């Protein structure tokens, strides 16, 4: 197996039924050239990133220090009217995620893209880990925390993290407030990314793979529904039940960092485990 794609420590022992399902999924993937991977918080959890409102998350079953739900604090209207409040919680989430690196699942998706140029990744994550891992056919439907844009003028800039930033940060051009280029609650999805997703689906895919997402948003579940109606095979990698679990062709009840190395090994059986 290529350098950096060997299984990480702590992976579970694969039983016979799980191995059968992995073999089935690898068989579907083997002949697919155009694959749409859809990823959510579960793939980044394997890099140690906390969710902000899921079980065990930063705001699970509690209000923020300002007595707001996290959805209220991280809304577009809050950023427009009280940017200092929205930025307070954006900065807190970023600080808890700072220093995270792509895990083996991110790296394998990037490696598959290098092998098969028809591979695309649609991600809800704003952490930039897919890009750090080398994915380029990437649809960041919720944006990224690593790009800031001014709320008053066209200025934008990229940042590795928020260390050293004044909160909220000011635009060096016009003095307005900078904000992360992410989709906050109550805001529209970016038109450019929606067009790119529509182009991927209209060109056709051989396989749709959902990884680490509960698929509660229609635009995340939609490609799986589309694939089912079009007779395109689908795979889900998620230890829990989701909105699309009953739809998929093959379901792997595994974490992303467990499943992807197993699939990679099955797709590259003659590749040595050590360089």
Whether residue 234 contacts residue 227, with contact meaning beta carbons closer than 8 Å, is answered with yes
Cα separation, 95 vs 162, in Å, equals 8
Q: Where are the alpha helices (DSSP H) in the chain?
A: 16-30, 41-45, 70-73, 76-81, 83-97, 104-115, 129-133, 191-203, 218-230, 256-267
DSSP state letter for 49: P
Whether residue 76 contacts residue 167, with contact meaning beta carbons closer than 8 Å, is answered with no
Please state, as a whole number, how many other Cβ atoms lie within 10 Å of the Cβ of residue 99.
9
Annotated catalytic residue, options 106, 130, 142, 146: 142
User: Which candidate, 17, 28, 36, 15, places its Cα nearest to that of 250?
Assistant: 28
User: Which candidate, 58, 220, 55, places its Cα nearest to that of 125?
Assistant: 220
For 251, counting Cβ atoms within 10 Å of its Cβ (0-12 exposed, 13-18 middle, 19+ buried), the class is buried
Cα 74 from chain centre = 19
Specify whether 246 is catalytic.
no
So which residues are the catalytic ones? 142
């Amino acid at each position: 197996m290529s350098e950096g794609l060997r299984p990480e420590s702590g992976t579970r022992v694969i039983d016979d039924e799980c191995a059968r399902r992995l073999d089935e999924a690898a068989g579907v993937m083997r002949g697919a050239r155009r694959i749409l991977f859809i990823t959510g918080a579960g793939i980044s959890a394997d890099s140690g990133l906390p969710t902000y409102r899921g079980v065990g998350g930063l705001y699970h079953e509690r209000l923020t220090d300002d007595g707001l739900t996290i959805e209220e604090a991280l809304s577009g209207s809050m950023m427009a009217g009280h940017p200092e409040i929205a930025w307070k919680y954006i900065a807190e989430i970023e600080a808890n995620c700072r220093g995270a690196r792509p895990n083996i699942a991110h790296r394998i998706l990037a490696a598959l893209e290098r092998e098969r140029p028809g591979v695309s990744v649609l991600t809800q994550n704003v952490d930039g880990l897919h890009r750090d891992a080398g994915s380029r056919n990437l649809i960041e439907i919720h944006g990224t925390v690593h790009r800031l844009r001014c709320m008053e003028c066209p200025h934008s800039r990229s940042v590795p993290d928020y260390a050293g930033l004044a909160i909220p940060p000011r635009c060096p051009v016009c003095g307005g407030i900078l904000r992360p280029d992410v989709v906050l609650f109550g805001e529209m999805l970016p038109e450019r990314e929606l067009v790119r997703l529509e182009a991927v689906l209209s060109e056709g895919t051989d396989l749709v793979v959902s990884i680490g997402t509960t698929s509660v948003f229609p635009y995340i579940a939609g490609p799986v529904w589309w694939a089912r109606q079009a007779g395109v095979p689908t795979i889900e990698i998620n230890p829990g039940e989701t909105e699309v679990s009953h739809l998929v062709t093959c379901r792997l009840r595994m974490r992303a960092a467990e499943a992807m190395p197993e699939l990679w090994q099955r797709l590259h059986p003659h590749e040595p485990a050590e360089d």
